[in-house]
């Protein structure tokens, strides 16, 4: 079943330098995550702490950044020579299951970055879209597997 984000948000910036040890620059073009993980989700806890969301129920209704493409178009030339790679996303899933518009926007942003010769990385709990295969071979993508089944965890 395909869902649509009921709400869009507007941001003043999109691309930012991160202090995360395995990061360089990052983009968070969606706020919230429909996965609704019950083990405390770090991204949700931070969003609540900084007043971006008030509740779990609000968190699981993702909001897309409506001006993401325009922001990135303006920000790439300013940061291009400083960037080693851009990670999508530290605060949500760029290929969120059931939300085609989120996946489509993620691919569009990656394409824009690749066109500027900027490598991208991304992790998902969903499926990687086939469109990624036609983008830069320098990109790196992965899937995070989550299970409460200890036998499955050991096997994988």
pLDDT digits (tens, 9 = 90+) for 29-88: 999 888 877 777 788 888 888 888 888 888 888 999 999 999 999 999 999 899 999 999
pLDDT band at 1 (very low <50, low <70, confident <90, very high): low
The CA-atom distances, in angstroms, between 135 and each of 15, 47, 108, 129 are: 20, 31, 10, 11
pLDDT of 128:
92
> Angle between the 68-79 and 100-115 helix axes, to the nearest 10 degrees?
20
Does the pLDDT at position 99 exceed 80? Answer: yes
Average pLDDT, the chain: 88
- pTM of this prediction exceeds 0.85: yes
pLDDT digits (tens, 9 = 90+) for 112-144: 999 999 999 998 888 899 999 999 999 999 888
pLDDT band at 150 (very low <50, low <70, confident <90, very high): confident
Consecutive H or E run containing 122: strand 119-124
Mean pLDDT calculated for residue range 79-100: 90
Q: Smallest Cα–Cα separation from 113: which of 63, 64, 66, 77?
A: 77
**How far apart are alpha carbons 85 and 17 in whole angstroms?**
10
């Amino acid at each position: 079943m395909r869902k649509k984000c009921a709400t869009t948000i507007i941001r003043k910036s999109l691309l930012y330098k991160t202090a995360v040890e395995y990061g360089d620059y990052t983009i968070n073009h969606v706020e919230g995550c429909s996965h609704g993980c019950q083990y405390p989700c770090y991204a949700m806890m931070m969003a609540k702490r900084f007043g971006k969301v008030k509740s779990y129920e609000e968190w699981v209704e993702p909001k897309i950044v409506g001006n993401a493409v325009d922001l990135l178009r303006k920000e790439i030339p300013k940061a291009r020579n400083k960037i080693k790679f851009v990670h999508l996303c530290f605060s949500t899933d760029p290929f969120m299951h059931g939300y085609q518009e989120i996946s489509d926007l993620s691919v569009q942003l990656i394409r824009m970055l690749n066109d500027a010769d900027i490598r991208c990385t991304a992790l998902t709990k969903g499926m990687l879209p086939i469109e990624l295969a036609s983008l830069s071979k320098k990109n790196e993508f992965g899937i995070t597997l989550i299970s409460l089944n200890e036998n499955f965890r050991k096997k994988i």
